[in-house]
Structures are given as structure tokens and as C-alpha cells.
Amino acid sequence: AQKVTQAQTEISVVEKEDVTLDCVYETRDTTYYLFWYKQPPSGELVFLIRRNSFDEQNEISGRYSWNFQKSTSSFNFTITASQVVDSAVYFCALSERNNDMRFGAGTRLTVKP
């Protein structure tokens, strides 16, 4: 069965620090999709990125970057020069072709001014 592990329950950093959120997944499928979502204090989860299993190219979007490594079954998320507005719970998720999306337990990031 597919599984997503986010080992970091809570992370606290000071503004402008870089921070990496870890995500390790398990799947037997060769075709799968990985996601990151952000849940700010308002509660609504917001989609950040989707990556399919055939595309290992790393992605950068402003201060956000994602490192996908099939060899270690990891899909880590880095925020560069963190800001207070980045404070949220971040979820990593995995879906396979014939299975529904599974979420990790989430990592609560607190960015202090």
C-alpha cells in the first residue's frame, strides 16, 4: 500500500532562514504523482506542486524549490529566505494510478520574526 512519511512534526525557524521539509514515500507502482499542499491558519489547503514519477527534474518557483529523488523515494520541499507568511502546516501527498491520494501527517512550520 502507498504510504507517505513526514518525519518532522514541527519546525521553528527565524525569518530569512532556509528550511527544508522532508517527505519520504512508499509505492509499488511505477506511475505515481507527488504533491505538496500548504494549510495556512485559515484552514484551506492550497495546492503548491504536482510531480509525476517520470519527471525527476527539480523545480523552483520563487523562494520555493522541490527536490525529487526516486533513488531515495523522497520529495523534499525547501523554502529559501523564509518569511512569517510561510507559517503553515505543509502536507506531502502521493497518488497512484488506481489508488486515491494519501497524505502525510503534515509538518507545522513556524517562522518567527
Closest of 104, 85, 83 to residue 95, by C-alpha = 104
Residue 53 CB-half CA count within 13 A: 18
Site for other proteins in 37-66 (CB under 8 A): 37, 42-47, 50
Q: What is the largest CA-CA distance in the chain?
A: 44
Residue from 98, 109, 111, 113 touching other proteins (CB under 8 A): that is 98
4/19 with CB nearer other proteins: 4
Residue from 22, 33, 64, 65 touching other proteins (CB under 8 A): that is 33
| Site for other proteins contains 12 (CB under 8 A) | no
